[in-house]
Amino acid sequence: MTRKILGNTNHHRSRPAIIALAALLAIFIAAPQFLADEPYARSREYDLQHSKIALRFDLDQKIILGEVTHSLSIFRDGTTKIAFDSVGLTIQSVTVNKAPAKFETTADKLIVPLPAAAKAGDKFDVSIRYAGKPSKGIYFILPDKDYPDRPKQIWTQGESEDTRYYLPTYDYPNARLTTETILTVPATWITVSNGKLMSVSDAGKGLKTWYWKESVPSSTYLITVVAGEFDEVKDTWRGIPVTYYAPKGRGDRLSINFRRTPAMMELFSHKFGVDYAWEKYAQVMVDEFVAGGMENSSATTNTSSSLVHPKLAPEYFTGQDDLISHELGHQWFGDLVTTKDWGNIWLNEGFATFLETIWTEAQFGKDQADYERWNGSREWFGSSNLWDKPIVRHDFDDSSEFDGNAYGKGGWVLYMLRHQIGEDAFYRGVKHYLEVNRGKNVVTSDLAKAIDEATHTNVDQFFSQWVYGAGAPKFELSYTYDNEKHQVILAVKQTQKIEGRVGLFRVPVEVEITTASGPKLYNITVSKDKQTFPLPAESAPMMVLFDKGGHVLKSAEFHKEKKEWLYQLKNAADLADRADAAVALGKMKNDDEAVAALGETLRNDKAWGVRATAADTLGKLDGASASKLLLAALDSNDKPWVRSRAVSALGNFKDDAGVAAKLNSVAKQDDSYRARAAALQALGSVKAPNAFATLDAAVAGDSPDGFLRNAALRSFGSLGDDKAVPLLLQWSAAGKPIDSRTAAINSLARLQKDNQDITKRIAAYLAEPHFPVRMAAIHALGARGDATAIPALEALLKSDDLSIEMAPMIKAQIARLQNPAGGKPGAHPGSGDAGEESAQAGDEKFTTEPRLEKLEHLLQEMNERLKSLEKRLPPPKQ
């Protein structure tokens, strides 16, 4: 699945929200233990082969009425009962082979005794009639008095262990079954489920019954049910139906955001040598989705925030393609071949993340793929909680297995593997892996074995350090030139602390030495803590690149003279090396030459990622010369994805009248909405004298999806002017757009902190059904530091209405309020009580937009995982 931002469904690229959310994330990470998903696959008593699932819905009560018939085959002689996972469901009756049967229930099981001890191979049809008002697994998004016009939607989210909340079943990935799904819904509704649509028939009383049939087996966490008022757009790929759905009224946003789906299906089918395996491919966008996207087999569900307004969509270079390619990639890696247990979840998520890169390379080119990888590396190194954990692990009882190792590092490792064994061998190995494991569950050794079988390349050592080991190499580098021997003596140290699962790394590295006669590439292998490599060079080098192009997940401190960094910034062929140079030069304070070079890069580099990195870097450098260059760049009208970064960078220059004036003018008028939103935010950050009026006007004005209004509402928190409180209260109120409300609530968290009336208003939002509003309110209460909020939070914690994964979050905020001095015991560095203030203060940590987007991904993941956390109450978690 793809991870979703917390509490902000639409403007998920906006920075301040993300900063506040980063604080949330840190809090989750700091929170103590929780009950984890089952780390190891279960031993099975029976083989669940087919489930026929019929569901009806009572919308008023948000109740489901279900009947499921499981066809299963017994694995062991002497089996006397069959146990299904079932939580919170009322079981009405059970039959075994059509005969009424006894049953018993526990907190999390339905147990059906068999009439007599069964033998291995015996087959049974077990039918279960049940009802329930699930707290998770299935979600009702319905109009209410505050939002009377919202399209009705019912959707499920099974991963990781939530299918059992709406369907009594075998709920662990290590089983595969085919399904029929029979959904009876109002006649005007549309439904989507796994497999092929067989029929839609009249069911009387204004109802219709939709009959879906999935003939390719997959795991129960991949079962999906979506029903509601949707617009549909139809497409095809090689004759297979490809469909897109949006909540009714937003169908005009489908094509612009999703139209490249068939091209992705073609690319992936071609690259893997295994065609897309399912009978159709549907993508359904739903409101208030608890993840970014979920790869249910043949029928992905995505957050409706991926339905970017047609006027905003062109302002995002890669559009929604990361999400779309990620979920599509799962149809092979995750759905067709499925991890056997949660400990190997990277076989799903690492591949899906890697496939985002594959699509990016093909569609947007090498620079874009390089840039995403470069950012991904920085993001991973910035997540210190990931460092000591291997990718494959089964000890995730104090953190989620769906972490930045399974995703970001997993994707990186596959990229490195491809780079090291070569494109041809890599895809031969992957094809073999898919073919031999098709329709099966896998562990990591299956991948290593398949690569070995297909290519005779032994990847054991590679897997040992990158997948079963933790960390990554941290290099300290320097070189000298020996005039007599005509050699560069490259000194390489691995400086990572060798402890726990972190060892020394053995990595092949490409070193490029550029002299007056041009560049030469050398392959070396680093394996020790300290090594020197003499490499031929006719004359003293102008540039030495270690790991040219950035193909190794690493950090490197390369001691170079300024002139070499300047040369590298201008002349290195690959994006990663130029971006590294920009970052290195950004550490040279008060250096006019460095500033001027970054300014030139901002204007002229051919890769937008390097231009934007130069903008970020200039933003961190003090001084009028840096701000002047950023201001000048705004006159050149670069693309929105660069322009908005230059504007954001200006948000670091306080007390600069020229900056304030320019931000003011961009905020009011610019071709780019993203630049205007960034300017609104920056006005708050620099606390410009005229900021209040401009923000106020932006709140009153109109823009696509309230894009500018929400940016302004968020900015009021940074501005810190209490005059904004009435306006923020107004926009936080029920009935206003959800995104505006969360923006306003986030800002209220930071204003008039001693005003208990504000605390009360925010506390009242805890009772609302809207997940993003609740999450924003919970966090705001913690951030305000007003202990009078504790009873409201405690009451919420006790309610049985914690529909969605909020308990750990609530507990963390209560702890924060009870211990305002901070320093929660056991908190990780950079975590916890920091709240948005310190996130704000540590601005540069979150400066670059891609970094924010990655962070957002991580937050999406957190959001998703919170769901699993809830059942792990009492102790909060992650």
Positions touching Zn ion (CB under 5 A) are: 1, 349, 352
Rank residues 746 and 868 by Cβ distance to Zn ion and give the closer one: 868
Question: Does an H or E element contain 852, and which?
Answer: helix 849-870
Question: What is the maximum span of the chain, computed from C-alpha positions, in angstroms?
Answer: 94
Q: Which token pair is 130? A: 């049940």
Report d(CA 34, CA 437) in Å as an integer. Answer: 33
We find the least distance from the C-beta atom of residue 362 to Zn ion, in angstroms, to be 20
We find the least distance from the C-beta atom of residue 404 to Zn ion, in angstroms, to be 13
C-alpha dist (Å) from residue 875 to 23, 735, 871, 872: 20, 34, 10, 7
Q: What's the number of CA atoms in the CB half-sphere (13 Å) around residue 770?
A: 27
Q: Which residues contact 795 (CB under 8 A, 6 or more apart)?
A: none
We find the least distance from the C-beta atom of residue 768 to Zn ion, in angstroms, to be 29
C-alpha dist (Å) from residue 291 to 231, 341, 771, 832: 21, 20, 12, 23
We find the least distance from the C-beta atom of residue 326 to Zn ion, in angstroms, to be 6
The string of DSSP letters for 334-367 reads TTTEEESSGGGTHHHHHHHHHHHHHHHHHHH-HH
Rank residues 171 and 356 by Cβ distance to Zn ion and give the closer one: 356
3-state secondary structure (DSSP) of residue 159:
coil
Burial of 262 from C-beta contacts in 10 A (0-12 / 13-18 / 19+): middle
Rank residues 741 and 867 by Cβ distance to Zn ion and give the closer one: 867
We find the least distance from the C-beta atom of residue 274 to Zn ion, in angstroms, to be 19
We find the least distance from the C-beta atom of residue 353 to Zn ion, in angstroms, to be 7
Closest by CA to 372, choosing from 382, 359, 383, is 359
CA dihedral over 432, 437, 442, 443, signed as positive or negative: negative
Rank residues 1 and 222 by Cβ distance to Zn ion and give the closer one: 1
Rank residues 339 and 685 by Cβ distance to Zn ion and give the closer one: 339
We find the least distance from the C-beta atom of residue 325 to Zn ion, in angstroms, to be 11
Rank residues 302 and 304 by Cβ distance to Zn ion and give the closer one: 302
We find the least distance from the C-beta atom of residue 295 to Zn ion, in angstroms, to be 6
| 278 neighbors 243 (Cβ within 8 angstroms) | no
We find the least distance from the C-beta atom of residue 359 to Zn ion, in angstroms, to be 14
Rank residues 406 and 781 by Cβ distance to Zn ion and give the closer one: 406
We find the least distance from the C-beta atom of residue 350 to Zn ion, in angstroms, to be 9
In degrees and rounded to multiples of 5, residue 261 shows phi and psi of -55, -50
Looking only at the bridges linking them, the beta strands covering 123-132 and 63-74 are: antiparallel
Neighbours of 873 (CB within 10 A): 15
Q: Length of the chain in residues, anyone?
A: 878
Rank residues 272 and 653 by Cβ distance to Zn ion and give the closer one: 272
The β-bridge partners of 302 are 285, 293
Rank residues 163 and 515 by Cβ distance to Zn ion and give the closer one: 163
Q: Which residues contact 705 (CB under 8 A, 6 or more apart)?
A: 10, 11, 309, 312, 737, 739
Rank residues 86 and 302 by Cβ distance to Zn ion and give the closer one: 302
